[in-house]
Structure 1
Amino acid sequence: MDREARLRAWEQTAQPYLLAASFLYLASYAVRVLVPGLSPGWQTWWELVTVVTWSVFVLEYLARLALSNDRRRFLRTRWLDLIVTVLPLLRPLRIVDMHDRMLRRRDRPRLALEARVMAYTGLTSLLLGFAASLAVYHDERTAPGANIHTFGDAVWWACSTLTTTGYGDATPVTPRGRVVAVALMFVGVALIGAVVGSFSSWLLRRFRQDGET
């Protein structure tokens, strides 16, 4: 078995575990942010879960890099994998893709292309918005001059940012909060573009079918 075949076999084997680790990482971070009154024992436990799951992401990425025939090409073409490994709060960008690959391996019925794009974009938006809300709330709730004091404020901010509405009533003031905001703006534009493009494609295909009948 050559390296590429072993790489594909490794990726197929690791997908369910990576999916579980991704949700576990997000859950551990959410508990640490949303439950400030944790006992020292539980705080240590959830911190350990965060570190262990992050280590899983790093080790899995390094294993795929080692199995690749052309490592430079791997780094060049799998840049998103590197980003979500270094910044695990961006794992929602990969969670939906991993889930889709698992369904295809099991020959589950799939939606039409446009419907899949819209469904996966919606799921990615929900997960990414939740992760961004946690990150911003974690930094902003005690920052001087901040106007995001509750998790509800953070969710409202994430929704208005993802949809590129930007009411301006809730804005991050900390450096990391603003970095998260900029990243969410770019992702929001891309996600909305994907939904609008897919919906337009579906409409054109339906009109073309109606014209041919």
Structure 2
Amino acid sequence: MKSRSNRGTFESYARRSEPLLLAAAVLFCVVYAWPIIDLELRPGLRDLCFLTQWVIWGVFLLDYLFRLYLAPQRAAFVKANLFDLAIILLPMFRPLRLLRVLVLLRYLGKEAEANLQGQVAWYAVSSAFMVVFIGALAELSAEQQVPGAVIVDFPTALWWAITTVTTVGYGDTYPVSLEGRIVAVMLMLYGIGLLGTVTGMLASWLVEKVDAADALRDSFRDEEIAEDSRQSIAKLEAEISALRADLAELVALSGGRVGGVADPSGVEGSGSVENSPKN
């Protein structure tokens, strides 16, 4: 009974906390991107952005610990939420701090689970756009202060992120720092997975369309067979009705003849003379 109560409390808290975590992730994305894109941001606002990042990281930490406390099976919870744990445990490595924003992906994933066929495409597209944006920010953060760097402004970083995640790799822009190359590897791996997901979605869509066409053709064939069966049954019923009419007529005719032969009063009558054979 206690386990069921904990599970209910855990699920209730998870449902209520998702919108708050989503808002926190969006806010984190804003306060992370602002100092990176605007290099002339006032020191006070820059410090406020950094402070807000740590406050939001603390919110994620408290959320994780509270969900761990409410989880009916804590070991299973840890195994099922390794990504969340990585977001909490990797705050000191500057590019990976942006992984906290990927709580948005977790939220979108939960929405997709509610209606898998209708939401998977939206989930894939929205997550792709968000990862490209996040990758561009992370790369710009890692590269913009490095001597000899090519990626020093956000448009260039965004172009690099798009060419990297699509596995095109023109080579006109590239990271030179270790942190930037780590971000590049993460985007490459995500791009490979994204291409596999898109290919699988297209294959599934084609199979679904083929199955629907086969089902429609089978339904038409079944309707034709049913119509032929109805016509055959109607013909059989008409033939049976005709046979019954013929049989009734034969029975009537046969009954009249038998009555004439068996009637003794008609031996000397005209009917008997007319029906007698001639010598």
TM-score (norm 2): 0.69
Tell whether 2:44 aligns with 1:41: yes
Partner in structure 2 of residue 164 of structure 1: 167
Matched, 1:20 2:29: no
Partner of 2:148: 145
Higher RCO structure (Cα 8 Å, ≥6 apart):
1
For 2:81 and 2:98, how far apart are their aligned partners in 1? Answer: 18
Instruction: Identify the residue that residue 90 of structure 1 maps to in structure 2.
Output: 99
| Distance of aligned partners of 1:144 and 1:44 in 2 relative to their CA distance in 1, 3 Å threshold | closer
Higher helix content, 1 or 2: 2
CA drift at 1:134 = 0.8
Matched, 1:203 2:206: yes
Extract unaligned runs of 5+ from structure 1: none
- Distance of aligned partners of 1:100 and 1:180 in 2 relative to their CA distance in 1, 3 Å threshold: closer
Cα distance in 2 for partners of 1:91, 1:194 equals 23
Pick closer, same or farther for the CA change 1:103–1:195 going to 2, 3 Å. closer
- Partner SS, residue 33 of structure 1: helix
SS at match of 1:2: helix
Q: By how many angstroms is 1:211 displaced? A: 2.3
Number of aligned residue pairs: 207
Give, in angstroms, the shift of residue 172 of structure 1.
Answer: 0.8
* Helix, strand or coil at the partner of 2:72: coil
Distance 1:92 1:194 in 2: 21
**Matching of residue 64 in structure 1 with residue 67 in structure 2:** yes
Give the deviation of 1:88 after TM superposition. Answer: 4.6
Q: Percent identity?
A: 34
Separation of aligned partners in 1, 2:50 and 2:102 = 23
Q: Give 2:179's aligned residue.
A: 176
Deviation at 1:62, TM superposition (A): 1.0
TM-score, length of structure 1 as denominator length: 0.88
Q: Distance in 1 between matches of 2:125 and 2:111?
A: 19
RMSD over aligned Cα atoms = 2.1
Task: Give secondary structure in 1 for the equivalent of 2:16.
Answer: helix
Q: CA deviation at 1:93?
A: 3.9
Unaligned runs of 5+ residues in structure 2 are: 91-95, 217-279
Return the offset for 1:130: 0.8
Q: C-alpha separation between the residues in 1 aligned to 2:153 and 2:173?
A: 11
The equivalent of 1:133 in structure 2 is 136
Q: Secondary structure at the match of 1:173?
A: coil
What letter corresponds to residue 29 of structure 1 in structure 2? Y
Over residues 63-109 of structure 1, what are the superposed CA-to-partner deviations in whole Å (9 max), with x where a residue is unaligned? 1111112222111121122223344522454314424646988xxxx
